[in-house]
Chain A
């Protein structure tokens, strides 16, 4: 079996004295979409923060494509091909759409190519290219955020709560795009509270609870035990 694109081994992390991750083990195989599910406060977003370099672990290891990364800054990881779309609206509200897209070229793809790809996937962004991103609707902002995932040709894509605060129809639309990205061979780790949406596009799924991964498996299996996990059955 080939080396997984992401391997997390016995990862611990804490906010001050409060330990949030208590020994997380997780693998994302190359080219696979892994859905990370779990109730509020399970540590999902914290895990993404640690992987993307925004937060430092207290112990444990992270391997990206077999390379042990320790103490790497988020901007270094971003330039190496790790694209993170954090939760909330991850756009710069006071820059125009086009300027937002221009900044995406930091990940290594030339700006003109970024613009082409983004506009071909989302014609709506082209219509609004001179508009400030903060004045876009929530769904359009998330499109803009996803455009970074589309255009930067990442080795690994981390998506945190894409659905937050959006209408179900728009969520479906966005996840369709995620599915398209996955088909191009990008490895994706999706964090999502709405299990069904994420499981539809996932190859594997993992469930976190209380700072640990408590279950892993095929989407179908996980889907059938989700209720138990959330209600505290599996541990």
Chain B
């Protein structure tokens, strides 16, 4: 009984901290429609700031706390709202997810750069003060947390329901333009909401730090609990959020107390919030289709198959050249790049064409790798099985959330990745803890591809074939349906298209491609460990894919090379490793609004030369024989993506780079 009571108190404490974090999340979401994936990262950074103020600079705890909560955090919140997430609420959900994931990665980068890994402790508030109830001991810190959560909940309720600015906050979600006509200031309202939300994230982080330690990732991912709580309140209801947070805290505490700490389900204790989140998302009533939301993205041009094959062939030839010239370690890197590129290809299909965001692509790759290693059939059959297993797992994730769209689907994948990380990959039927799996190199039709060079070339060939497949899909009927689905699900519904199974199929196909990449990767490395497929890598894949262009195959190719090079650069320049992360994250924030990414800029280069540079040069040097194109529309339809045509007016023919 005593242990039960003390677990309950611990649960109340964690629940209270979750409630604080979750109410901040709800506040920012319900006023600006931006779901801040980085909410936990914000809490993490401010826990570090608090440590810096109170421990390193020896400020009194109350002063440090006041500085963080009333000055630094709100200022940062306003900055995020004004600069990073402005106008995101009306963008497609994928864009706001990518931008906030970018903020998450960027903040982790900033934290590691400013506060390099070291052992740091933050004492509890009123350390040493205890309350004893019978045999149960409660700290003042815990009591303070519970009290604060109540105060926060009460104040927020009053703010939102009893004050004019709070009413304006809720009004600005409905219609910010109208609020302006009323005389309200939507920007001010949004800034205030973000300032409060950031402060609450900081408070939750600071309160939790003495208990779970000052870590980059633990605090960041802790927010999953807050997501779960906020989901229970459907991201709008504060009281339900509070209930959810408290319930989750207690549930988690009991899980720690009463679930076995060894064996295959040992990981279960760590994933209670994730399971909770998954459960709530699955049970959530169907979100209504948002109509009047036609936000068609202008896609990168899609090349003809012939042109794509030529570029693909060139890429394979280039890989062959490299295979002859490079050392084994560099070839391994090249193979890794090919792996990443294939994973990004799966995102081109899923996110670029289908408009769905997945935060678990690398987990699917991990599933493929484990399947490939476990069945121990290093041939095309084994590869096929690995692909199918990954695809089946992908479908399995997609089916329960079939009814849901955008944000919920993305969060479900996030929960799934987390589950796999903590539960499945650690179990004895997969990697176990720190236990590498062995995999053989692939043999194709009886021909064993043993050399690292030839294996790398083969991976490149796989990439090219898959890329051609993706392009073929995009050019066909299916591709048109995908684009239509991405642009407006409601419109598709009125046309009588049943998109549910298409979405599952899309998810499965994408997971399958990622699984194939994982299997090939396993063969390349020979040994694989769970760390190769960590959840965090999936976030990086998404960001890099968006930066380089998630709507084109070229973007995937360049992105793969870039992502391979990132850890290399980090180990070469260890002193700025965090900065590189930050650059990547905030790069995604900057470029996330244009999912066509940098690759699309490359596509535009050729026509820029012909349309802008040639005429300018011809004017200056009349003698030069420059071929300027005539602005005619003849033959425009042949082999040119109609979307891109509509967007770029006068461009008649497009020269397209497929793979580079």
Contact = CB atoms under 8 A, between A and B. Distances in A.
Interface of A: 52, 54, 73-75, 78-79, 83-86, 90-95, 99-100, 102-108, 111, 148
A103 B171 contact: yes
B616 to A, nearest CB: 22
B178 A92 contact: yes
Given A75-B184, A79-B183, A111 B164 contact: yes
Contact of B183 (A99, A100, A106): A106
A111 B181 CA distance: 17
Contacts of B170: 92, 94-95, 99
A174 B177 CA distance: 24
B89 to A, nearest CB: 14
Contacts of B175: 92
B621 interface: no
B180 interface: yes
A108 B170 CA distance: 20
Which interface class (under 10, 10 to 19, 20 to 34, 35 or more) fits B?
A: 10 to 19
Contact of B181 (A86, A100, A102, A108): A86
Given A103-B164, A105-B164, A95 B181 contact: no
Nearest to A152: B183
Contacts of A107: 182-183
Given A102-B164, A103-B171, A75 B178 contact: no
Contacts of B180: 54, 73-75, 78
Given A54-B181, A74-B181, A102-B167, 5 more contacts: A78-B180, A78-B183, A92-B170, A95-B171, A106-B182
> Which one of B173, B174, B175, B181 has the greatest number of beta carbons of chain A within 10 Å?
B181
A53 to B, nearest CB: 8
A141 to B, nearest CB: 12
A102 B177 CA distance: 17
Interface string B129-172: 00000000000000000000000000000000000100110110
10 contacts: A74-B181, A75-B182, A78-B182, A78-B183, A84-B181, A92-B178, A94-B174, A95-B171, A99-B167, A103-B168
B179 interface: yes
B184 A106 contact: yes
Contacts of B179: 92, 103
B525 interface: no
Contacts of B438: none
A79 B183 CA distance: 5
B185 interface: yes
Nearest to B180: A74
A134 to B, nearest CB: 8
Contacts of A78: 180-183
Contacts of A108: 183
Contacts of A75: 180-185
Contacts of B182: 75, 78, 103-104, 106-107, 148
A104 B168 CA distance: 10
Contacts of B173: 94
B187 to A, nearest CB: 9
A95 B174 contact: yes
A18 B578 CA distance: 48
A91 B178 CA distance: 8
B69 to A, nearest CB: 29
Interface in B298-338: none
Q: Which of B167, B174, B180, B185 has the most CB of A within 10 A?
A: B180
B259 to A, nearest CB: 41
Given A102-B164, A105-B164, A92 B171 contact: yes
B178 A86 contact: yes
Interface in B178-205: 178-185
Nearest to B166: A99
B167 A95 contact: yes
A52 B181 contact: yes
Nearest to B185: A75
A232 B562 CA distance: 62
A97 to B, nearest CB: 12
A54 to B, nearest CB: 7
A99 B171 CA distance: 9
The interface centre, meaning the residue of A54, A92, A93, A111 with most chain B CB atoms within 10 A of its CB, is A92
Nearest to B177: A54
The 9 closest A-B pairs by CB, nearest first: A106-B183, A78-B183, A74-B180, A92-B174, A92-B171, A79-B183, A75-B180, A84-B181, A99-B167
A71 to B, nearest CB: 14
Nearest to A83: B181
Contacts of A100: 171
A52 B177 CA distance: 11
A111 B183 CA distance: 14
A79 B185 CA distance: 11
Contacts of A85: 181
Contacts of B177: 54, 74, 86
Given A103-B164, A103-B167, A111-B164, A93 B174 contact: yes
B178 A90 contact: yes
A103 B163 CA distance: 10
Contacts of A99: 167, 170-171
